[in-house]
Chains A and B, each alone.
Chain A
Amino acid sequence: MKVLNTVLSAFRALKRNKMRSFLTMLGIIIGVSAVIVMLAIGQGAKFSVEQQINALGTNVLIVLPGSQQQGGIRMGAGSMTTLSEDDAFAIQKECPAVALVSPGTRGGGQVIAGSQNWATGVEGTGIDYLEIRKWSVEYGEFYTEQDIRSAAKVCVLGKTVADNLFPDASPVGQTIRIRSVPFKVVGVLKAKGQNAMGQDQDDLILAPYTTVARRLSWWPNLRQILVSATSSSGIAAAQNQITELLRMRHKIAPYDADDFTIRNQADLATAATATTDILTYLLASVAGVSLLVGGIGIMNIMLVSVTERTREIGIRMSVGARSRDILTQFLIEALVLSLLGGTTGIILGIVGSRVITGIVNWPTIISVFSILLAFGFSIGIGIFFGFYPARKAALLNPIDALRYE
């Protein structure tokens, strides 16, 4: 029997019991649309987490000096003075996976402006610091390459510092004193709020690293080198290249330990997306259970249908239908049911996801994968749950089927 004819007659058979067919499909419709919506929500959540982490700079690497060890006492990362300005320049020049480099030092202390004072840290940075961090200046401007070269006493204030030192006036153009050293304020950073650990990212002052090293710190060398990789996937490459370069520059013998440490945020990102992934699949599998229930509904109705149509099966067999023809007929009927339900469910799932985004403002992403998954699942359910009733029909004895009342 030709497949097209079988499909047409399956449609006709389902049309005969419109209400019943619809209710049977409803199980699949709800199941499929639930899977689609859950996957959309999960993938939307994953995307926004990724975006947030990207905003922190997933492609940022921090190179720290190694830990000092005196006798048995280890002093912790950054306690050695092994990183130099030239290391930073070399990383910029010789590591192809590295995009930007900002040498860093650190100072801090009481800051005075007029009658106000505030204790905060001073971050000595290179010119590309803002771009690596994806920060920006809100008022005024950032200091220049020239300022860094000449160790000019200029600084940019974080929003918190600006608000505390200059509650009423604009800080740009004013002079502040950091541990008695006068600095000219050239700009104020845009507020960033708290970071993932709850620290206020606006409570700091940025100044040229040369100035900080010379005026505010007893530290001749760099405290850190901030590096951005060309892309978040280039992090590993950048890390390897920097390690190799620094080991060479610091003349570290093979098998000796590094005298520096490299940290990145990619590990954090991986952990976070793994969590959202787990959440997504958890949601989807809960939805999948309803799909399974829908499948059982199909099996139930197909069994009823086979019983109801025993006589029809007998007639078809008497005019020459083979078991295979009957099997195909009922299997295709189950498939048509599940595919119609599946397609409707996919459309409903897409609409539902849009509605959720519109009303609750959750990000939802519908991937081709989730549509294919739902579609494949519908086919699978049609075949799996249609097979038993179809086989039952196909194995009927023609004479018994004909005599069935």
Chain B
Amino acid sequence: MMAGGTASGNANGHFITIEHLVKTYILGEVEVHALRGVTLSISQGEFVAIMGASGSGKSTFMNILGCLDKPTRGTYHLEDIDVGQLSRNDLARIRNRKIGFVFQGFNLLSRTTAIENVELPLLYGPSTNKERVQRAREALNLVGLADRAHHHPSQLSGGQQQRVAIARALVNAPRIVLADEPTGNLDSRTSVEVMEVFQQLNENGITIILVTHESDIAEFAKRQIVFRDGKIRSDKQVTARRWAADVIKQMPLLEDDDEDAA
């Protein structure tokens, strides 16, 4: 069910190509320049950490990448598609089929069970009821929460909730997972565990783009891009990449009642 390694990309071989991206909000009478011309390309299978202080434009950038928001100017190609030209419906379809989201606040539907949350993207696709349940199970299995399928989010720990959210992001076999501060609400050990899941997914060929302001989290990625004032300040490969699986082994096991052995 994973997106596998089918190498597809546009003419120059890139998965994502962004040119001169500008985003300007108008708040009352003030113009806020969230992005001031960003040019960037990302290939299939990359694991990119986007860093920057708050107000640097990194979240705006992520929202545009995720087709949740439209740029004021500039172009964004996802595979061969010029996203800027798409209608609301087409954008919804892209979010549904190609992109998985993981948010800082988990953004689960609080009154539905874990598995129903995971099924949500499939409700807006063509799959049958039977298919949907099966794929949701598989996705929960993948994040190690098969036994919590019928728990409500309030009955799950933060780490577990985030893993449900990751399962939801994966259930439609997206080409790309966008994570906006996925560890922002988690303690350090749980953060590393979540990063382990991301690293595994990346090893399976899924492109991952992650916004974080914690530099130790960014070290789990392959490439680090730093935003400042709506522009890219630095863009470099991670030299000393950390492996979450190794880090966990060295961490002291805390008295921890809300976590299952992952």
Contact = CB atoms under 8 A, between A and B. Distances in A.
Interface of A: 1-2, 5, 12, 16, 311-312, 314-325, 397-399, 402
Nearest to B110: A312
B92 interface: yes
11 contacts: A2-B129, A5-B129, A318-B68, A319-B121, A320-B92, A320-B96, A320-B124, A322-B89, A324-B89, A399-B68, A402-B103
B150 to A, nearest CB: 15
Contact of A319 (B69, B111, B168): B168
- Cβ-closest 4 pairs across A and B: A320-B96, A319-B121, A322-B92, A320-B124
B97 interface: yes
B88 A323 contact: yes
Contacts of B172: 320
B95 A16 contact: no
Nearest to B107: A315
A1 B129 CA distance: 11
Interface string B100-131: 01010001110110000000110111000100
Contact of A322 (B66, B68, B69, B88): B88
B66 A318 contact: yes
Interface residues of B, number: 26
Contact of B96 (A5, A12, A319, A324): A319
Interface in B16-60: none
A9 B68 CA distance: 24
A400 B101 CA distance: 16
Contacts of B103: 402
B95 A315 contact: no
B123 A2 contact: yes
A319 B97 CA distance: 9
B63 interface: yes
A319 B120 contact: yes
A311 B109 CA distance: 9
Given A316-B124, A324-B89, 16 more contacts: A1-B124, A2-B129, A5-B123, A312-B109, A315-B108, A315-B109, A318-B66, A319-B101, A319-B124, A319-B168, A320-B92, A320-B124, A321-B92, A323-B88, A397-B69, A399-B68
B233 interface: no
Interface in B159-206: 168, 172
Contacts of A397: 69
B68 A325 contact: no
Contacts of B96: 319-321
Nearest to A6: B123
Contacts of B109: 312, 315
B68 A320 contact: no
A318 B107 contact: yes
Nearest to B119: A5
Contacts of A2: 123, 129
